[in-house]
Amino acid sequence: MQYYKVCGNINTTLNQVITINKCIEMYNKLESENISNNEVIFETILDIYTQTIKKDFIFKGCNNAIDKVLSLKHSYVYDSPYCDIFFDLLKLYGYNFKQEIKDAIDNLGRLENPNDNKAIIESLLKSPVIQDISFNGRDKFTIYSEQFGTTSFTLASHYFNYVEKIKEYINHEQLNARCHHHTLFLADILPDFYAITALCKYYFYGNYYHSFTYNPDENVIIDLCVNAVLDKERYYYLYEAKDIVKTKNSDFSDIMRLVDQKSLHLEDYIAPLRLALYKQYLDYIGYNGSLKEAPSLR
């Protein structure tokens, strides 16, 4: 399960703030509210589902309703006779069904052995929006959905097979829930690529902050959270991503030095997120000049 800093409609909410402290206060408030609202919906769905099928479940290692429902989906629902009931409930509460494709990418991308995929593919095909999944035997999965079209992705671990530092990172670091860390890591290694932080659509309610890397030469997005490399247009379609800030990696360190000089109160946030929050503040006050001359928030 991936967690991100989440936010509501940024264009609306930022119009309500007048200082950077207020911006952070609003940001944290919306983060908690979005997570809370999604958890309430997941908790409701879990209660209704278990009561309907008259079955109780024990959830090990799950700390909240979101984790519980996602764990239940993969460990029980897909292969149960009550699959339709589960997805009907999700639909009733306004579930973002593109999440099924994203979850499939996550599960397939993080297989220890991508060729050992039969069991997970058989389960994923029970999803109402996934009709076919194929693997080329080397590095690429293709997911076909009648509703959302065809999504192909390359395993990032294979894409960077000849970049030893990145390959080691993928093999040994925690991948899920660390999008900003991954983007910062790649910024130091791939100077001609871009670091992007965007708002992406959440499960039911609101958006979340998400960072990823862009290769302009191949027009692909690299998302190490799911060990995947996707066509940019396809990625933005699935994640419904709206860019906050896009920075060339070769400029990232210099830009962050300027941002950190001007935004002391953002020091608790990891670099890609600090930059995004400062950029949102500048957008709010209508500043369009150079970063060097931008107002200081210290």
Residue 26: pLDDT band (50, 70, 90) is low
Residue 102 contacts by C-beta under 8 Å, 6 or more apart in sequence? 226, 238, 239
pLDDT of residue 30: 59
The overall average pLDDT reported for the chain is: 89
pLDDT of residue 226 exceeding 60, the answer is yes
Angle at 100 between CA 104 and CA 87, to 5 degrees: 130
Tokens for 19? 């200082």
Return the H-helix or E-strand segment holding 132: strand 132-135
Q: For the residues 274-291, what does the mean pLDDT come to?
A: 88
Sign, CA dihedral 201-66-224-130, equals negative
The better pLDDT of the pair 284, 212 is held by: 212
Q: For the residues 165-169, what does the mean pLDDT come to?
A: 96
pTM value is: 0.89
Q: For the residues 31-53, what does the mean pLDDT come to?
A: 90
Closest to 200 (Cα-Cα) out of 163, 249, 239: 239
Residue 263: pLDDT band (50, 70, 90) is confident
pLDDT of residue 212 exceeding 70, the answer is yes
pLDDT of residue 110 exceeding 70, the answer is yes
Angle at 183 between CA 244 and CA 130, to 5 degrees: 80
Residue 25: pLDDT band (50, 70, 90) is low
